[in-house]
Structure 1
């Protein structure tokens, strides 16, 4: 193993590249938001590997997003609740620590200790923001993993906002979006139930109020509720 726990050894790099080039690697690609994800489990370790998706311009943009995401992960190195990043292989595969578990979307209802889980998640967000990174898309529960011992992990920094030394309006907005998403997940959307302590970090935004007003019409136009019920019926 290499001295730096977040650096792959030459043998690890070659083993993973050989696996990616093999037929086995093509069996379980999981569609991601901006990339495809492959899970490697083998003698060299367990890793989640992101690769560009799409064709032509879309693939070029996806590759640029992956390279930028690698830079974001380097900035967040060592923060609890952020998967380890091992950099890019062949300048196109982003290799991340594999986190056993599932998304918050799947496991939120079954959490044994919500207070502890969300306290840990908030601490991760605070350290992340102190490092100058705002996720910007935590309203999607699939961007939060529930790992071993119900440790939260934040993933998918493809559209993260990175602050310069002066921070700035865009970073401040994205940081508040992260905080509001945390509140809404913790309280399951019942913002009227927010505790006095948590209300200090919650700040309703105009865009969110507008979306709440438009959501019923949008759901009706896209048949979203009907499609959700249909998916649920198929799963059962």
Structure 2
């Protein structure tokens, strides 16, 4: 039983605590190459768990390890930053647990036509800037399900599976990557704020949207995947050759 495996893995991380499989619930049923997202909650712990046990063996041996590794490294880099899960544990090569954040996704608020104060989006922008100062891009903030309004009214960012470090990238790609994150912030701001957004931010969003339309990898998933693969390639053996090639564009 998959839940029992997860409970065993949690017990290895916290041997002093008794974990029980009946405390595990499914938040999202992933299929094939997508993780199943669980929640473990008892009186002492409240974790989100991403797990690829259900995936075919070749996914478990390749993409699953890569995705889990990327998310763990991202959380490690952001450790101590406000708006990010404050506990994270790599349970295995294909599973990760991190503290559950109680909140409402902006996607849900948008469907309900609910608005937030400008201060929320200023704080979100500052947190994304802090993430960039730490050398990381999220690459999936245009998905408003990845931005939460916490119980304290503050912004929280989740799901770092696509996040990568960007310090070694060519400058043109760094700008596009950081722009992808900021365009997600401004997209949320434009549709979800009680007050209008400044003209500068509107212009930034409009210009980035135009760039996406002209981009050969059309559609945000393809665009994000291309940037993500560029980042991975830049960190593999032969990365110097890769950077020399991309610097010419």
TM-score scaled to structure 2, two decimals? Answer: 0.67
Q: Which residue of 2 aligns with 1:186?
A: 189
Change (3 A) 1:125 1:13: farther
Give the deviation of 1:140 after TM superposition: 0.6
Cα distance in 2 for partners of 1:14, 1:50 equals: 23
Cα distance in 2 for partners of 1:69, 1:78 equals: 16
Q: How does 1:114-133 map to 2 (within 5 A)?
A: 114-133=117-136
Tell me the alpha carbon deviations over residues 20-67 of structure 1, each in whole angstroms, 9 at most, x when there is no partner.
xx3663x52523594221111113311111112521223331232012
- Aligned length, in residue pairs: 200
- Check the 8 A contact 2:23/2:40 in 1, yes or no: no
Q: Which residue of 2 aligns with 1:59?
A: 60
Q: Which residue of 2 aligns with 1:95?
A: 97
Give the deviation of 1:83 after TM superposition: 1.5
2:26 to 28, 31, 40: 28
1:157 to 155, 160, 163: 160
Cα distance in 2 for partners of 1:98, 1:189 equals: 24
Further displaced range: 129-138 or 146-155: 146-155
Q: Which residue of 2 aligns with 1:227?
A: none
Give the deviation of 1:137 after TM superposition: 1.2
Residue 107 of structure 2 corresponds to residue 105 of structure 1? yes
- Check the 8 A contact 2:65/2:94 in 1, yes or no: yes
Give the deviation of 1:112 after TM superposition: 5.9
- Check the 8 A contact 1:132/1:167 in 2, yes or no: no
Change (3 A) 1:121 1:34: farther
Q: Which residue of 1 aligns with 2:38?
A: 38
- Check the 8 A contact 1:134/1:171 in 2, yes or no: no
Cα distance in 2 for partners of 1:64, 1:13 equals: 27
Helix, strand or coil for the counterpart of 2:152?
helix
Cα distance in 2 for partners of 1:198, 1:206 equals: 14
Tell me the alpha carbon deviations over residues 78-120 of structure 1, each in whole angstroms, 9 at most, x when there is no partner.
1111112422023432111111122111124565633121111
- Check the 8 A contact 2:70/2:162 in 1, yes or no: no
Tell me the alpha carbon deviations over residues 114-138 of structure 1, each in whole angstroms, 9 at most, x when there is no partner.
3121111111101001001111111
Q: Which residue of 2 aligns with 1:69?
A: 71
Change (3 A) 1:204 1:28: closer
Q: Which runs of no fewer than 5 residues in structure 2 stay unpaired?
A: 1-9, 220-249
Residue 85 of structure 2 corresponds to residue 83 of structure 1? yes
Helix, strand or coil for the counterpart of 1:150?
coil
- Check the 8 A contact 1:87/1:95 in 2, yes or no: yes
Cα distance in 2 for partners of 1:30, 1:13 equals: 27
Q: Which residue of 2 aligns with 1:204?
A: 208
Change (3 A) 1:14 1:170: farther
